[in-house]
Structure 1
Amino acid sequence: MKRLLPLLLLPLLGLAPKLPRPAPQTARRLTLRINGEAVRADTLSSRFFLSSDRALRLNVVRADDPDGEGLTIIIDRFPVQAGTYSFQEILSGRNRDASYRFGKVAAYSKSCGQNTGSVVITGVDATRHWLRGTYRCQVCEAGRGARRFTLEGEFEYPVEQE
């Protein structure tokens, strides 16, 4: 009977409350929409970098072009805190812009008449080195017949030191 007692307690272990599991150290959630159409992002090739002079560079690469440049957003003097970082601030001396390259398409936020766009950081975990938030920007091709692209998405992504 003493041998069977531990077996009788096994069903009770399933009734124990489950503790929430912490997010994995390398959480990589990244979405990309171009003019409202969902495009798969390559979470292995995409990178977020923070340089020693506090410039944050988001590089979102398309899954159908893992060797391409994709979307690059640069925010100078990023204070590593939650907030909204608007591209309108380029005029005040801070470098906050975006560029997009895919195949023969090359478009830049500085080419648009209105340089609209922003990165909204909603979560920062400095010990695990990740950011959570959203991005939205417009980039334009230069020249005649130039097209305008609105790129937007969400992220929960690790940040690497550059």
Structure 2
Amino acid sequence: MKRLLPLLLLLPALGLVPKRPVPGAAVPSGSVRHLTLRINGQPVAADTSSSRFFLSSDHALRLNVVRQDDPDGEGLTIIIDRFPVQAGSYTFQEILSGRNRDASYRFGPVAAYSKSCGQNTGSVVITGVNAEKHWLRGTYRCQVCEAGRGARRFTLEGEFEYPVEKE
């Protein structure tokens, strides 16, 4: 054992020790579909086979998160116009700057829109982009309100590591 100790101490200097992966730096495969949804803080299962992220030819990004208990429903739709396909924070407050950033939610009889809220708060934060493999990583958070009398306010949020399709 005493003879092996000097050799073990030399391994890092020789670069022969396996390096630990940096958290969050792993490149996902093309089939990665991690998607979460919380409504007013309560977790709701997202349907990863019905949910879709689309990027149109004019660079409008559309995130469509569908609930697992309503795979044929519209779910949550967030639109970011003129998405530059890069990491960054895209907030709904900038809707007046000429960039269309809004959200809508439909589930059963409930229809709510970010534009119906007094404050159009919300954001999509892109923390990872792989244009070659067509996926995005990040978080989303928005408030949507039912239109009309007795309107309820919903806060929808979650994380994603998801493929992006061409629209």
Q: Normalising by the residue count of structure 1, what TM-score does the alignment of the two structures yield?
A: 0.87
Instruction: Note the 1:13-162 alignment, pairs <5 A.
Output: 23-162=28-167
2:72 counterpart SS class:
coil
1:146 counterpart SS class:
coil
1:149 counterpart SS class:
strand
Deviations 1:94-152 (A, max 9, x none): 10000000000000000000000000000000000000000000000011100000000
Change (3 A) 1:111 1:22: closer
Deviations 1:4-30 (A, max 9, x none): xxxxxxxxxxxxx7x988632111000
Q: Normalising by the residue count of structure 2, what TM-score does the alignment of the two structures yield?
A: 0.84
- Deviating above 3 A after TM superposition, structure 1's stretches of 4 or more consecutive aligned residues are 19-22
Amino acid of the structure 2 residue aligned with 1:156 = E
1:89 counterpart SS class:
helix
Deviations 1:5-57 (A, max 9, x none): xxxxxxxxxxxx7x988632111000000000000000000000000000000
In the aligned structure 2, how far is the partner of 1:104 from the partner of 1:91? Answer: 29
In the aligned structure 2, how far is the partner of 1:23 from the partner of 1:92? Answer: 34
Amino acid of the structure 2 residue aligned with 1:26 = S
In the aligned structure 1, how far is the partner of 2:123 from the partner of 2:141? Answer: 5
- In the other structure, the counterpart of 1:11 is none
Identity, in percent, stands at 85
- 5+ residue gaps, structure 1, are 1-16
CA displacement at 1:61 relative to structure 2: 0.1
In the aligned structure 2, how far is the partner of 1:158 from the partner of 1:146? Answer: 34
In the aligned structure 2, how far is the partner of 1:96 from the partner of 1:130? Answer: 20
